[in-house]
Amino acid sequence: MADIVVVKNVGPDDFKGAFNSKPFVIPAGGDAFLDREAAFIYFGDWNARNLGTDQKMQFRLMEVNRLKGMYGAHYDDPRDDPRIPAPLYAHEKWV
């Protein structure tokens, strides 16, 4: 049996995703039950820890970088692209 967690959406928009080919929605300001693996995919592994100073052992940092890449917060928007009316820096997107 899979582990189940409760996730809360504190944002202003519904969060939509899918896990094992089954869609789910976490309503804005609401909460939902999710498989632990689905929560890891979308929100990160909360058990990840950095071990020592070796770069290969920085598991939490790798998890943060994975999430930034997944949500497009790893790079700044180009400032001169007319298709982006309000360009953001990476740290602004991550918030």
What pLDDT is stored for residue 91 in this prediction?
83
Residues 19 and 56 in one domain: no
Residues 49 and 94 in one domain: yes
How do residues 34-84 score in pLDDT, each as one tens digit?
999 999 999 999 999 999 999 999 999 999 989 988 888 888 888 888 898
Q: How many domains does the chain have?
A: 2
Q: Burial, 74: exposed, middle or buried (Cβ in 10 Å; 0-12, 13-18, 19+)?
A: middle
Residues 21 and 57 in one domain: no
Give me the domain span that covers residue 92.
Answer: 45-95
Q: Is the pLDDT of residue 2 over 90?
A: no
Residues 30 and 52 in one domain: no
Going from the C-alpha of 69 to that of each of 36, 37, 94, the distances in angstroms are 21, 18, 10
pTM of this structure: 0.76
How sure is the predictor about 95, in pLDDT bands with cuts at 50, 70 and 90? low
Average pLDDT over residues 9-22: 93
Residues 50 and 93 in one domain: yes
